[in-house]
Every structure is written in structure tokens, then in C-alpha cells.
Amino acid sequence: MDDNSLHENRFVRDEDERPKVPYNKFSSEIPVISLKGIDDVEESSGGIKSRRAEICEKIIKACEDWGIFQVVDHGVDTKMLSEMTRLAREFFEMPAEEKLRFDMTGGKKGGFIVSSHLQGEAVQDWREIVTYFSYPIKARDYSRWPDKPKEWRAVTEKYSEDLMGLGCKLLEVLSEAMGLEKEALKDACVDMDQKVVLNSYPKCPQPDLTLGLKRHTDPGTITLLLQDQVGGLQATRDGGKTWITVEPIEGAFVVNLGDHGHYLSNGRFKNADHQAVVNSNTSRLSIATFQNPAPNAIVYPLIVNEGEKSIMEEAITFMDMYKKKMSTDLELARLKKLAKAKQQDLEKAKPIESILAKRLADFSLCHPVSVCSCQILLVEINLAIVCRNIVAYNPDFEKRILEAAANSNGTYILEMDDNSLHENRFVRDEDERPKVPYNKFSSEIPVISLKGIDDVEESSGGIKSRRAEICEKIIACEDWGIFQVVDHGVDTKMLSEMTRLAREFFEMSAEEKLRFDMTGGKKGGFIVSSHLQGEAVQDWREIVTYFSYPIKARDYSRWPDKPKEWRAVTEKYSEDLMGLGCKLLEMLSEAMGLEKEALKDACVDMDQKVVLNSYPKCPQP
């Protein structure tokens, strides 16, 4: 890849994520431990500790300090390591079409992919990987294992077997270090999984802008990493403030403790915080073997010493722990991206904040139009400012703006110009933009009168009942999934009153509406654009929403208390709409040849959520 592809393919990391230490500036801080004599448990006649006890002490210290160490004299045949490395290199050197025969995109379990098998990653890693699942043996899917080079299966099976043995031996030592039976950690894994990931980090034209593998901790119990002599594995133990590059040692395995091991030790052993960097001189190869618990294994500290508390609130399965970790990592990445966008908006706003501050006492707000609240304030000096972004950093400025709004007869005008449309991320991709004008109406959607919906009697001439006629028309859902109903029985005065209340709410001042702000996961209230997290492009709307059924779940603290008739009217409206909704479900049930209560019963205890939308006029619709 050249410089252009580096940018186009989204490999560029934020500045705070970029490498801080060169790939080949090696550190000796990570312990290198010889496992020679690990099975020697006998003390000498002079009371000198056994070799196993000495090794155990070194591993304990490494796990408490770093959660990472290297082992030599581990018993895995060096010829096997050389052969495994050779096969890995030959695989990655194959033509793209050969590697892509084992493409693992689309959720396939095992195979080849660029960057990562995780979905939703905002920035890609500078690597190719091939992975296969080797334990439990009964779960192996050889169709996902490469068949080239030709010795692949025989060598990788033997390598996986040897690494399973070494991993279990290390778990025994860690169990003993915790004062438990030596099988304790292995037993906690139930039926141990093993996944092997071969990483190829190609040389990179601008290695200072990207990472081969982003900063992370492994979710499993322990990881055994075989790496070549290039260098690039880095570790931190102070939250990423300082990094060291782990020195490559011929024939050694780097051992990382994972999240599962961290939890089982009640936090005594660190989960290794690490990343991989790349360089512009040569490619790098590593082979990671993940020793993980079974998906249904229970994750909880095996021992909690007197005077300590468990670092986990409750026991969960490893699968649930893994899903939570992945979703949390993606959410943090999303929030970071949003924070970055806000910071950029803030930087744009800085030059005009001082001007606005001086003019706040005497400026008048523009003509009254209800527009997306607390997003853009357009003042008479023809300057726009992103209020919400400033609020995050300068609450006092928000106060001054709200005071100015209050001084303008309660009309909070937040009219957006063309620039604000773009800056506030409302612009859709071309294929998502409107293709038909808002006022070019169509008559294709059926309009169905529900008058006589309860009339089930056929006429004397065998003419269908009115209910049957309505039912046939509603089956038009097959064509569109949408239709309109009139003569539905809901009082027209109620509809007018509900509409009036909605308009009055959206015309209220920003500070009034924001008393019911539903950001941060609150259930019900007011928000701009959408209550859904992670939306890349915002909707041009304000909404207020409340949950009305089941009645026992109503939280009136999240229902607006203004206009004053809100609760009484919305409760009645919700009741009438629940009745109409159930009546329509009866018709659909009958259309499916079922008992009329079938669809309603399938809903168990039906929920109801009401969303009131205000779509302000837009300069570039």
C-alpha cells in the first residue's frame, strides 16, 4: 500500500493512539523466564526451594507487575517453531486469490481477513491475519483451515497440541501461586478453547500514523505469542502513558495474561495491555495462540482473600463477558469519535465566542422559527455557534445564551444556515437523499374507512360483511406494509388537542424542553435527531417520546409537565390508540386465518411508545 491507500483505507489513527516508541527500541523490562526444571518439585536437603518454586515466584512477580513475560526452555521443539513460521510466511506470500479462498468476512469462523474479524471497527489495523480454531477437537472445521501450503494441517495440528500442553502447564503454576489446587484454573475453563491467529504486518510507508494491532487486552485466560526477530510488540502498565517494545528472543514465547485470568485472580494478576506497531523497512510475523475458557464457563474470582472485595459484581459466563467487552470497546471508540468531532467544532467556535460574549447583553435574536434546539444559535451579527459543543467545555457560556433567550420573550431561535447543516453532520450520502419532493403526493397508499368494522353479518344475498370487506383492503399490507385509516373511532377533538399540545411543546424555550433531555440512556423525554446511539448522520428533527403501556411501567418523571394539560390528554390519547391498534391486529389475525386474538397474544403484554416529531424547515432539504 502507498500513502494514498493508507488514508483512503482508514488506517490512520488519532494522534493520541499513534506509536510513541520505535519498533526496534527494545526494553529488557519484560522478564525472560526459563522453564527448565519446571517439573522439579523436590526441595534440596538444605531447604533450598525447588526449581518449580523458583519459577513460580518469577511468574507471579511478572503477572503482578506486567501481566506479561517471556518463556524459554519451554519444551516445544524448535524445529516445530521454524516449520510453523515457514508455513505462515508461505501462506501470506501466496496470491490474493489463493488467500481469499478462505475469506472469513460475513461471520465465518476461521480463515483469512485483512485488519480484523471484529465488526464495527472505525479504524483498521495494518495487518493480514489467518486464524483457525483448534480446541476442542470436536469443534474443528477443517474447511476453514488453509489447504496450502500442503503441510499446513499436519504441522498446525501438532503445534496446537504442543501449545495446549504448554498453556496448561503455565496455568498449573498460576493456580499454585494463588494457593489453589494446580488444576483450578484449567478446571475453571471447563472445556478449554484454543484459537490460533497468524499475523502478517506488511511494511508501511508511514508507520508513525498507524498501528499493526490497536491497543487492547486479550479476553481469554492466557495467550502464547511466537514472534520473529523484527520487533513491534509493545506493552504499557500505566494506562498508555509510556510504552516499551518487547525484545524478540529466538525461540521464546511471549505469555500475556488475559481478562479471564485477571478476573479469576481477583485482579491480583494484571491483564496485559499491549499493541503492535509496524515499520517501513520490513514486514513482521507473529503467531498468537489464545487459550480461552469454554463459552459457558463461569467468570468469577476463584479466591477472595480476607479483607478484600470481589472485583466483579456478579458471576457471568465467558460468552457474556466477551460480548460485553467487545460492545464496550466499540462504544468507547464511538464516543471518542464524537468527542473528537465536538472538539473540532469547539475550535471553530473559539474565535467568535469572545465576540458573542461582548454582544450578549444587547443583541436581539432573529425572527421566531422553531428549529433544532441547542444546536445552532444565529445572532444578529450573522455568526453561528454550536451551542451543544460549547456547553461540554464552558457551562457558563450556555448560561449566558439561555439568559439571552429568556430575555427575548421566550422565543429561542436556533436557525441553521448552510454551514451549520454540514458542520452538524446532517448531510446524507447521495444515495440516501430524497428523490421525490415532499409535496408531490401519491394516491397509491390505500385509504380505508373502518366504518362498520364490527359488522360481521353477511347480507341475505350472500354479500360479504363490511368487516370482511375491510379485512380484504387491509390485506393490502402485502403490497406496501402501509395504509391509512379513516372513520377509526378516535375523537377528532382529541386529535386536534394532541396536535396542539405537541406544537406548544416544541415552541417552548430550549431550557424548558431540556428539562426532559433524554441523552445518556434515559427512558423517555426530549432529544434532537434520535435516541439511538452510534448514528453517524443525524436526522433533521426534534422528538419528545413517552412510554405509555404497560401502565405499571409508566415513568411520569420522563413525561413533560408543560403544557399543563399534557398528562391528561396524552393518557387518553394513548388509551384510544391502544384500542385502535388492538382492533387492527384482530383484522390482521383473521386475514392470516387465525383466531382474532392471535397477534395480540403473541405480543404477550403489549408495550406502547408514543413519539412526537417536529421537523423544522431546512435551508437545504
CB 232 within 8 A of CB 201: yes
Q: Which strands form 253-257's sheet, in the order they lie side by side?
A: 32-34, 68-72, 253-257, 222-227, 284-292, 193-201, 128-135, 111-114
What average pLDDT is seen over the chain?
82
Nearest of 92, 82, 94 to residue 226 by alpha carbon: 82
- Residue 479 neighbours by CB under 8 Å, 6+ apart: none
Residue 515 lies in a domain: yes
Nearest alpha-carbon partner for 30 in 242, 254, 278 = 254
Question: Whole-model pTM?
Answer: 0.58
Question: Where does the pLDDT of residue 385 fall: very low under 50, low under 70, confident under 90, or very high at 90 and above?
Answer: very low
In a 3-state reduction of DSSP, which class is residue 289?
strand
- 473/338: higher pLDDT: 473
What pLDDT was estimated at residue 156? 95
Q: What is the mean pLDDT of residues 551-564?
A: 88
Q: What pLDDT is stored for residue 36 in this prediction?
A: 94
Report pLDDT for 448. Answer: 92
Helix (H) or strand (E) segment spanning residue 332: helix 318-359
Let me know if residue 603 belongs to a domain: yes
Domain of 482 in residue numbering reads as 395-410+424-614
Lowest mean pLDDT among 69-83, 232-246, 430-444: 430-444
Mean pLDDT throughout 380-401?
A: 33
How far is the C-alpha of 203 from the C-alpha of 231, rounded, in Å?
12
In a domain, residue 495? The reply is yes
Percent of the chain with pLDDT over 90: 52
Q: Report the alpha-carbon distance of residue 508 to residue 368 in Å, rounded.
A: 11
Domain count for the chain: 2
Place of cell 478453547: 193
| CA 526 to the chain's CA centroid | 24
Residue pLDDT, tens place only, 582-611: 999 998 888 888 998 999 999 888 899 999
Do 580 and 499 share a structural domain? Answer: yes
Q: Which of 384, 374, 591 is nearest to 477 (CA)?
A: 591
Query: What letters, b where the CB count within 10 A reaches 16 and e where it falls short, cover 366-388?
Result: beeebbbbbbbbbbeeebbbbbb
Please give the pLDDT value at position 5. 57
Enumerate the H helices of 407-557 as residue ranges: 418-423, 466-474, 492-506, 510-513
Same domain, 295 and 440: no
Predicted pLDDT at 511? 82
Is 311 inside any structural domain?
A: no
Q: For the chain, what is the radius of gyration of the CA atoms? A: 32
Please indicate, yes or no, whether residues 458 and 537 belong to a single structural domain of this protein: yes
Residue 269 and residue 188 share a domain: yes
309 lies in some domain: no
Single-letter amino acid, residue 170:
L
Which residues in 326-346 are b (16+ Cβ under 10 Å) and which e? eeebbeebbeeeeeeebeebb
β-sheet bridge partners, residue 227: 286
Here the CATH number for the domain that contains residue 520 is 2.60.120.330
Pairing of strands 273-276, 233-236: antiparallel
**C-alpha–C-alpha distance, residues 177 and 59, integer Å:** 9
| 381 pLDDT above the threshold of 60 | no
Which has the higher per-residue pLDDT, 223 or 337? 223
Pair 296, 431 in one domain: no
Single-letter residue type at 27: S
Same domain flag for 405 and 324: no
Q: 107 lies in a domain?
A: yes
Place of cell 396524552: 570
| Spatial separation of the C-alpha atoms in residues 218 and 114, rounded to whole Å | 19
Residue 384 located in a structural domain:
no
Is 166 inside any structural domain? yes
Banded model confidence at residue 479, pLDDT cuts 50, 70, 90: confident
CA nearest neighbour of 322 among 118, 69, 116, 129: 118
Residues 6 or more apart whose CB falls under 8 angstroms from that of 591 comprise: 471, 474, 475
Q: Name 245's bridge partners.
A: 26, 234
231 and 153 belong to one structural domain: yes
Minimal CA–CA distance to 196: which of 289, 129, 116?
289
| pLDDT value at 411 more than 60 | no
Please list, in sequence order, all residues whose beta carbon lies within 8 angstroms of the beta carbon of residue 344, skipping any fewer than 6 positions away: none
Residues 241 and 110 in one domain: yes
- In SS3 terms, 528-567 reads as ECCCCCCCCCCCCCEEEEEEEECHHHCCHHHCCCCCCCHH
Domain termination residue (choose one: 295, 329, 363): 329
Asked whether residue 296 falls in the same domain as residue 440, the answer is: no
